[in-house]
Each structure stands twice: as C-alpha cells, then as structure tokens.
C-alpha cells in the first residue's frame, strides 16, 4: 500500500486523544453538566457518533459523580426510550444528526453554537464531590438478544479493573499508539476504548474502522498503530476482501487483540500469515466489566482457545449440579466472586441479578470447557445449544465448519422443532460474490457438516439470506 500523508481539513479535530490534552476538557464538561443541574448519582446518556466529545463527557460525568450510560448511535427512538426510562435518565448528550431520535427527552447538542460557547467558557478545573469505590459509575445495557435489555450496574471500583488489565493484558502504557475499533457504547469501547487506555496514558486513535479493508489497513499504517484491539467480525471482513497485505507497512504494529465472539482457528492462521502477528483472543462480558480470560503473550497461543484466566481470576467449569467437571468436559463457565470490575446489579431487577450467582460463583451463561493445560474454549451460550436426538450441538462449531466452504461469506445456525429428534439444525448462509443459491450448494453444506462433525450437524434446512442479524456488539441474534 503506497503511503500518503494524512490530510487534515481546516478546523477538523485531531484523530488522536491523549491524557494530557483531555484533563482540562473533562473539567469543562463536568462544570457544564453541574451548571445544568446534573448531580451525583444522576444518569446521563451519551448518544453520539465517534468523536472526542464522547471521551470528554464520559469522564466528565464520572468526575461529577454522575452515572455514565452509553447508547449506540444506530439506536432508534424506541430503544432509547426503553433504556432512558428504565433507569430514570436525567439527560442525553447528542448531536444534530441524531437529535430527531431524542426530541422527547432532555438533551444537549454538542455541535450547537450556543453549546460550544458555553463549553469554552467553563473553567478547566473541577472539584469532585466525595466519591467512593462503591458509588455507581456506569450502566451498560446488555445486547438483549432475547427479552428486555438489562442495565448492568458498575461502580467506581470497576475503573481499577479497566486500568490494571489495560496494562497487564493489552500492554498499554504512556504514549503507546492504540486503536480500539469497538464503538464506545459497547463495554469494550468504554472499558478499553476510553477508561483504561486514558488512565495509563496511551494515545488513542478516535476513528471508526469502516467496512473497507483498504481503509482499515491505511489507518493502521498511517497512524503507526502499536496495539490494536478489534473483533473477529472485522478480521473476517479483511479475509474476504482483496488487499495486497505484502504492500502494507505494519512495522509499528506490535500486538493485535480480539474480543466479542470466538476467534476461529481459520481466522487466527490467516491473520498470522497475512498480518505477520498472532491474534491474542480475550474473553469478558458486559457483566464482568473487564477482561477475565485472555491470551496475553506470556504463553503459547492455542488457536480457537480464549486463553487462560488472568492473574487474580479464578475461572472454573461446572456441571448442572454446580460441581467442578474434569478437563475436556463441557459445562457452565463460572467466575469466583468478587473481582474489582464485577457488576453490582441489574438496574431495578434484583431477582435476575441474584439468579446469576451460585455458591460464590458468577454463572456467566456461557458453555465452555478447559483442557489439561488450563486453556479455556468457548462452546456456546447456554440458551443457544441445539439438542438434536440427545446430542448437544454448539452453533459456533457448526458455523465454523460452514464458513470453510468457499461459497460462504457468513453463516448462522439455529435449532428448529423436529417431531422425531426434538430439534434439528437450520442454517442461514450469506454467499460470497460469484455464487448463486442452489440445491447443489445446500447438499454440499450437508455433506461437509456430516463429514467434518456428525450426521446430527447436517442441517435439515438451508436458507440463503442477504445478511445475518447481529447485535451492536457483533453477536448473532438467533431469536
């Protein structure tokens, strides 16, 4: 890729955010919110496209002692209303492009000229009220693939977990050029796009990755990114698009991490060959708040594995009676409580929160297994498992085989009712360019799965679709 100098338009803000430049702007944000009547404990939502103001105001909200509640910019009025009303929000910080979706709520627009003048006039130093680690700091609403989204409550002590893991797992430190491609409204984009990196002094690239491989590679190259935290979805996209990776100058890139879904061996090996680096997969949830299991570079990577529990985290696999199982046996992934970033509740739903804990362990809702060397492997979400004639199938395992067929761009599988077997597999397939739906392809998929996995994995139905529905965090919506 031929390197061209980055051209910045007159008046365009720097794409970089550094801790030193951020501090006075955080103070201004806290002052402005305070003068608007926002106080400690109030829930303030941020509904913005990726921009520096997201960072200033997220930190300003916390400095004031209020509660940071992020919203994806793709949300419509109904999704916003459900979340805002659920926790009794006080304010939405937005921009003119999105304002029509929040007309019925108290809000401020950051690109309003009057707002800009007020913000500029604010003092840069702000004295926070008395705050403790147990004060509520963040409410992250879960993806809600089924049912009503739940507001996972995190306290100020969680910020310590973000900071420590940004250092110990991602290897961030002062001045490191870092790019987290996750939207700030996702837990990854908050914990490791805002709070952790700024706390350790990393320089953060504020840039949406887009959907073109050439743009992503150009961003990595021109900005001399050293640590890149991204998702398997984006890496798969790079695989499918034609880019001459040998011409890409990635000499500054030292580490690549992934999160959000399983990093398949296929993607891992492709990345190592074409990007020249191993991909270090990590695992955590909205509820855990920070990384729990990871490949850190301190031990060999086993492709397909999430890695090992980080220091201070005790992760185990339990059976249905909550007994520890032997290595290689699939069961419920559980984390010994407490840990610094552990969520403290679901807003307004104590019963649901309490149901997630058993015998001193947080039951993650993920099925996984651990091998003899202590590596953990994701199998599926508990409610995604397909039970066909008593054989339990992981949707991920079936999907991972399907995408090895040259015609398949993306795939998703679900269980459908079957009078004889209880459930059967149905596959949804997005085709690569140059392929057309056909009965021949459907048969090829069935034989592929029969031969690679088992006859039970062979789909009874195959439906060709234009796209696979996903949550904002990239997880397949199966219901």
Cα 229 from Cα 1, distance rounded (Å): 22
State what percent of residues in the chain have pLDDT above 70: 94
* Side-chain-side CA neighbours of residue 283 (13 Å): 28
pLDDT > 60? residue 140: yes
User: In the prediction, which pLDDT does 362 show?
Assistant: 98
In 382-441, which ranges are E strands?
386-388, 391-393, 408-418, 422-431
User: In the prediction, which pLDDT does 303 show?
Assistant: 95
pLDDT > 90? residue 145: no
With H, G, I as helix, E, B as strand and everything else as coil, classify residue 44: strand
Pairing of strands 361-370, 331-336: antiparallel
Query: Encoding tokens for residue 266?
Result: 């296929």
User: In the prediction, which pLDDT does 389 show?
Assistant: 66
Q: Which domains does the chain have, with CATH numbers?
A: 16-370 (3.40.50.12780), 386-464 (3.30.300.30)
User: In the prediction, which pLDDT does 332 show?
Assistant: 97
Confidence of residue 220 (pLDDT cuts 50, 70, 90): very high
Confidence of residue 143 (pLDDT cuts 50, 70, 90): low
pLDDT > 70? residue 96: yes
pLDDT > 70? residue 198: yes
Cα 360 from Cα 110, distance rounded (Å): 45
Contacts of 18 (CB under 8 A, 6+ apart): 201, 203, 204
User: In the prediction, which pLDDT does 313 show?
Assistant: 98
Query: Encoding tokens for residue 88?
Result: 């009794």
pLDDT > 60? residue 4: no
pLDDT > 50? residue 7: no
* Side-chain-side CA neighbours of residue 185 (13 Å): 27
User: In the prediction, which pLDDT does 405 show?
Assistant: 95
Confidence of residue 432 (pLDDT cuts 50, 70, 90): very high
Residues 247/277, Cβ–Cβ less than 8 Å: no
Question: What integer is the mean pLDDT of 219-229?
Answer: 95
Omega within 30 of 0 (cis) for the link into 178: no
Residues 44/93, Cβ–Cβ less than 8 Å: yes
Mean pLDDT, rounded, of the chain: 90
Residues 190/161, Cβ–Cβ less than 8 Å: no
State what percent of residues in the chain have pLDDT above 90: 72
Question: What integer is the mean pLDDT of 116-128?
Answer: 95
pLDDT > 80? residue 275: yes
With H, G, I as helix, E, B as strand and everything else as coil, classify residue 46: strand
**Which conformational region is residue 65 in: left (phi greater than 0), alpha (psi within -120 to 50 degrees), or beta?**
left
Nearest to 159 by CA among 228, 295, 58: 58
366: part of which helix (H) or strand (E)? strand 361-370
User: In the prediction, which pLDDT does 12 show?
Assistant: 46
| DSSP assignment of 96-132 | TTTGGGGTTS-EEETT-HHHHHHHHHS-S---PPP--
User: In the prediction, which pLDDT does 210 show?
Assistant: 82
pLDDT tens string 230-254: 988 788 888 877 777 778 888 999 9
User: In the prediction, which pLDDT does 390 show?
Assistant: 57
Q: How far is CA 186 from the centre of its chain?
A: 5
Long-range contacts of range 172-175, CB-CB < 8 Å, 24 or more positions apart? 172/196, 172/197, 172/200, 172/202, 172/227, 173/200, 173/201, 173/202, 174/19, 174/200, 174/201, 174/202, 175/201, 175/202, 175/203
Question: What integer is the mean pLDDT of 119-148?
Answer: 88
Question: What integer is the mean pLDDT of 405-424?
Answer: 87
Contacts of 200 (CB under 8 A, 6+ apart): 163, 166, 167, 172, 173, 174
Q: Report how far apart, in Å, the C-alpha atoms of 53 and of each of 29, 124, 203, 471 are.
A: 9, 15, 16, 24
User: In the prediction, which pLDDT does 3 show?
Assistant: 41
Question: What integer is the mean pLDDT of 397-413?
Answer: 91
Confidence of residue 5 (pLDDT cuts 50, 70, 90): very low
376: part of which helix (H) or strand (E)? strand 376-381
3-state secondary structure 178-191: EEECCCCCCHHHHH
pLDDT > 70? residue 402: yes
Supply φ then ψ for residue 100, to 5 degrees.
-65, -20
Q: 346 has which bridge partners?
A: 152
pLDDT tens string 465-478: 999 988 766 778 87
Confidence of residue 423 (pLDDT cuts 50, 70, 90): confident
Q: Worst-scoring range by mean pLDDT, 147-161, 196-210, 227-241, 270-284?
A: 227-241
pLDDT tens string 69-82: 999 888 888 889 98
């Amino acid at each position: 890729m031929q390197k061209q100098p980055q051209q910045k338009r007159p008046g365009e803000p720097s794409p970089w955010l550094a801790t030193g430049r951020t501090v006075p702007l955080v103070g201004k944000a806290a002052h402005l919110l305070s003068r608007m009547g926002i106080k400690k404990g109030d829930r303030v939502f941020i509904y913005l496209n990726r921009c520096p103001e997201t960072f200033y105001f997220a930190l300003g909200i916390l400095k004031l002692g209020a509660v940071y509640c992020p919203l994806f910019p793709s949300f419509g009025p109904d999704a916003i209303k459900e979340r805002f009303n659920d926790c009794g929000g006080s304010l939405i910080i937005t921009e003119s492009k999105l304002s029509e979706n929040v007309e019925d709520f108290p809000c401020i627009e950051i690109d309003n000229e009057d707002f800009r003048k007020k913000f500029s006039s604010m003092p840069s130093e702000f004295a926070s009220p008395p705050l403790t680690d147990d004060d509520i700091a963040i409410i992250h609403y879960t993806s809600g693939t089924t049912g009503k989204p739940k507001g996972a409550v995190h306290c100020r002590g969680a910020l310590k977990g973000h900071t420590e893991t940004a250092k110990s797992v991602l290897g961030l430190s002062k001045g490191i050029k870092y790019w987290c491609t996750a939207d700030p409204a996702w837990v990854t984009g908050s914990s490791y796009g805002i709070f952790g990196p700024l706390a350790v002094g990393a320089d953060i690239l504020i840039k949406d990755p887009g959907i073109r491989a050439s743009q992503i590679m150009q961003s990595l190259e021109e900005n001399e990114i050293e640590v890149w935290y991204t998702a398997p979805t984006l890496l798969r996209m790079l695989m499918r698009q034609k880019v001459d990776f040998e011409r890409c100058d990635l000499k500054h890139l030292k580490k690549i991490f992934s999160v959000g879904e399983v990093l398949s061996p296929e993607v891992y090996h492709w990345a190592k060959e074409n990007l020249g680096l191993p991909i270090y997969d990590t695992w955590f949830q909205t509820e855990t708040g920070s990384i729990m299991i990871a490949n850190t570079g301190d031990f060999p990577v086993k492709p397909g594995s999430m890695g090992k529990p980080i220091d201070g985290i005790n992760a185990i696999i339990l059976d249905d009676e909550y007994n520890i199982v032997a290595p290689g046996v699939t069961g419920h992934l559980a984390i010994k409580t407490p840990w610094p970033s552990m969520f403290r509740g679901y807003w307004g739903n104590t019963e649901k929160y309490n149901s997630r804990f058993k015998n001193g362990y947080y039951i993650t809702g993920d099925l996984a297994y651990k091998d003899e060397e202590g590596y953990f492997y994701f199998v599926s979400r508990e409610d995604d498992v397909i039970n066909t004639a008593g054989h339990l199938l992981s949707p991920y395992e079936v999907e991972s085989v399907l995408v090895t067929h040259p015609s398949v761009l993306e795939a998703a599988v679900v269980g459908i009712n079957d009078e004889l077997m209880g459930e059967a597999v149905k596959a949804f397939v997005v085709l690569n360019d140059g392929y057309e739906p056909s009965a021949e392809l459907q048969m090829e998929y069935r034989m592929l799965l029969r031969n690679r996995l088992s006859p039970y994995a062979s789909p009874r139905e195959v439906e060709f679709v234009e796209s696979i529905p996903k949550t904002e965090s990239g997880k397949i919506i199966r219901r």
